[in-house]
Amino acid sequence: MLEQPRRIKRGWMNLRVSQVIHETLDTRTFYFVDHEDGGRAFDYRPGQYLTFRFDELGPKPIARSYTMSSSPCESDYVAVTIKEMHKGVVSQFFVQDVKIGDVLRARGPIGKFCYFSGQDQEHLAMIAAGSGVTPFTSMLREYAPHLGEEGAPKRMTLLVSYRSTDDLINWDLLQEVSKVPGIRIVTTLSRQDARDLGFLYKRIDADMLRSVFSEDLSKTTFMTCGPQEMMDLSANFLKEQGVPPQCIKIESYETA
Ligand SMILES: Cc1cc2nc3c(=O)[nH]c(=O)nc-3n(C[C@H](O)[C@H](O)[C@H](O)COP(=O)(O)OP(=O)(O)OC[C@H]3O[C@@H](n4cnc5c(N)ncnc54)[C@H](O)[C@@H]3O)c2cc1C
C-alpha cells in the first residue's frame, strides 16, 4: 500500500466498464478495467482524476474529468462516481447510457489534489459537498487501514454536505470507515431535517466549521472539494483562523 504510482500508460487508454453501481437516483459508480488485458490499467494516488474523451456526443470532441472514488489498494479496477447534472452532456450520458461492456477513452491519472505525508500535516481534514466527496472517498479507502503508518495521516476528519438522505453518495464506505479509531465523519443535510438520525441540518457555514474543527489546527491540513461558494467560504474561514495557505488545498470541479 501507499506506493508511488508505477505502471502509467501514456496517452489515451481504452477502459472497459466492468460494473455499474447505483449510488443514488442521479449518481452512479463506474468500475473500469483495461480493455486489452482486463486488469487495472494504471496506478494512481488518491485524489487524482481521469479525463474522458467523447468524439460522438457533439459536433466536436468533448472531454470531462472525473476523480477516482476507488483507491489504489483496490488492485483489479479503478472507479469513478458521477452525478448527473441537469442537461449536462457527459454526466447525463454516463448515468443514462453507459453500461457494462462499453469501452471508453480516458487519459490519466492527473492532478496533485493528494495527501503528501512529507509536506502535509498529520491530521487530514476534508470538507466536501455532493459529488465533491469523491477524492475523499478514495483517500479514506486508502488510508483508513493504515493511519499513523508511513505515508498516511494519523487522523482523518470528513465534513460532508448532501441535500437529503436520498443523496448520500458513497455512503456504505463512509459508514464503514467511521468505525475506525482516528476517523471522524460528520454529515450535514441541507434540505432535510434528519437530526434524529444523527445528521446536522444546514449548509456548511462558518459556525459549523468552527464547531467541527474546534481543536488546535496547527497539525491539520485541510482539503476541500465541492461548489465554489462552499470552498471559498471554507478557505476564508480557515485563513481567518490563521491556517497557513500551504495547509489549505482546493479542488475545483469547474476547471480542467
Ligand atoms: C478535476 C475534476 C474532477 C471532477 N470529478 C468529478 C467527480 O468525481 N464526479 C462528478 O460527478 N463530477 C466531477 N467533475 C465534474 C465533471 O468534470 C463535469 O464538469 C460534470 O459532470 C458536468 O459535465 P457535463 O458534460 O455533464 O455538463 P455540461 O454539459 O458541461 O454542463 C454543465 C452544467 O452547465 C449547464 N449548462 C451547460 N451549457 C449551458 C448554457 N449554455 N447555459 C446555461 N447552462 C449551461 C448544464 O445544464 C449543466 O448543469 C470533476 C471536474 C474536474 C475539473
Instruction: Give residue 110 CA to ligand 1 midpoint distance, Å.
Output: 18
pLDDT at 2: 52
pLDDT in tens, 182-205: 999 999 999 999 999 999 999 999
Compute and round to an integer the Cα radius of gyration of the chain. 18
Q: Decide if pLDDT at 4 tops 60.
A: no
Q: How confident is the model at residue 215 (pLDDT cuts 50, 70, 90)?
A: confident
Mutate to test the pocket of ligand 1, among 69, 90, 91, 134 (most ligand atoms within 8 A of CB): 91
Range with lowest mean pLDDT among 8-22, 85-99, 138-152, 171-185? 8-22
* Model pTM above 0.85: yes
Instruction: Give residue 178 CA to ligand 1 midpoint distance, Å.
Output: 30
How many angstroms separate the CA atoms of 233 and 223, rounded?
Answer: 13
Task: Find where cell 487519459 sits.
Answer: 107
Handedness of CA 69, 72, 75, 77 (dihedral sign): positive
Please identify, by atom number, the ligand 1 atom nearest to the C-alpha of residue 111.
1
Task: Find residue 196's DSSP bridge partners.
Answer: none
Contact assessment for residue 188 and residue 202, using Cβ atoms and an 8 Å cutoff: yes
Q: Decide if pLDDT at 255 tops 70.
A: no
Which residue ranges form the domains of the chain, and what is each CATH number?
13-110 (2.40.30.10), 123-251 (3.40.50.80)
Instruction: Give residue 245 CA to ligand 1 midpoint distance, Å.
Output: 27
Mutate to test the pocket of ligand 1, among 30, 87, 104 (most ligand atoms within 8 A of CB): 87
Name the average pLDDT for the chain.
94
Instruction: Give residue 92 CA to ligand 1 midpoint distance, Å.
Output: 10
pLDDT in tens, 24-80: 999 999 999 999 888 888 899 999 999 999 999 989 999 999 999 999 999 899 999
Please provide the distance, in angstroms rounded to a whole number, between the alpha carbons at the two ends of the chain. Answer: 28
pLDDT at 190: 97
Pocket-forming residues, ligand 1, beta carbon under 6 Å: 49, 64-67, 80-83, 85-92, 131, 134, 253, 255-256
